[in-house]
């Protein structure tokens, strides 16, 4: 990514208060935290994406939260990226991942969707798997709880106690991607199993 390139940092989630505190909205939580840290108001809506434009880590960025529901995130993000002339290689997508233990982060430069329908929608819309993802571990359901009930459920009390730290670390990882590159960020954060 070049120095002058605009970055698109998009968090995946579902709109509305019913979903706000759920595991599936971890991506939205990170975008909200970045918006506060970087003082970028996320108040504009275009192509059904709530977004704001500013500077993060010394780089020009667009922070985005698609409002089309998780499984249809791709087309709105593609329209926004096209509007701002952002290449897919300058896009970082933040999303929950049940295949990672809670509090673990993993950065990927490309690859499959791992069963995540939001990522699949983005891959389909962009016609490519070549975009950076920051996966936020939310773990798997305990006992007989189904996957949908787990990701659309609220964090447990033990998880809530360390949620702020997890979000803060995710924000640091994104800033590292922007300032030092994806490889440096992967070497630093993919090893952090806690």
- All domains of the chain in start order, with CATH: 7-189 (3.40.50.1470)
Condensed to tens digits (0 to 9), the pLDDT of residues 161-188 reads 888 999 999 999 999 999 999 999 999 9
Residue 192: φ, ψ to 5° = -85, 85
**Rounded to whole angstroms, how far apart are CA atoms 190 and 60?**
25
Compute the distance between CA of residue 128 and CA of residue 18 in angstroms, rounded to an integer. 32
CA nearest neighbour of 40 among 26, 60, 25, 22: 60
* Rounded Cα gap, residues 75 and 100, in angstroms: 26
- pLDDT at res. 3: 47
Query: Does 71 appear as a known binding residue?
Result: yes
Mean pLDDT of the residues in the chain: 89
Cβ(21)–Cβ(155) below 8 Å:
yes
Please report the pLDDT score of residue 115 as a whole number.
76
Helix (H, G, I), strand (E, B) or coil at 76: helix
- The string of pLDDT tens digits covering residues 76-91 is 999 999 999 999 889 9
Residue 194: its pLDDT value, please? 46
| Average pLDDT, integer, range 33-45 | 97
Average pLDDT (78-105) is 92
Mean pLDDT of 62-71: 94
Mean per-residue pLDDT for 13-21?
A: 88
The set of catalytic residues is 24
Give the closest residue to 175 by CA, choosing from 40, 22, 12. Answer: 40
């Amino acid at each position: 990514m070049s120095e002058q390139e605009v970055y698109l940092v998009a968090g995946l989630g579902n709109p509305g208060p019913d979903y706000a505190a759920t595991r599936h909205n971890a991506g939205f939580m990170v975008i909200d935290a970045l918006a506060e840290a970087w003082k970028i108001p996320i108040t504009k809506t275009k192509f059904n994406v709530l977004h704001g434009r500013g500077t993060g880590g010394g780089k020009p960025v667009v922070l985005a939260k698609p409002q089309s529901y998780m499984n249809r995130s791709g087309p709105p993000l593609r329209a926004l990226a096209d509007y701002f002339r952002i290449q897919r290689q300058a896009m970082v997508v933040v999303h929950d991942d049940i295949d990672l233990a809670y509090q673990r982060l993993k950065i990927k430069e490309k690859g499959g969707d791992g069963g995540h329908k939001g990522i699949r929608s983005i891959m389909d819309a962009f016609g490519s798997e070549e975009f950076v993802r920051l996966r936020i571990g939310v773990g798997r359901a305990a006992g007989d709880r189904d996957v949908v009930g787990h990701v659309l459920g609220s964090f447990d009390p033990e998880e809530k106690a360390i949620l702020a730290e997890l979000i803060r670390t995710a924000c640091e990882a994104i800033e590292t991607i922007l300032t030092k590159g994806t490889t440096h960020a992967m070497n630093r954060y993919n090893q952090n199993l806690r």
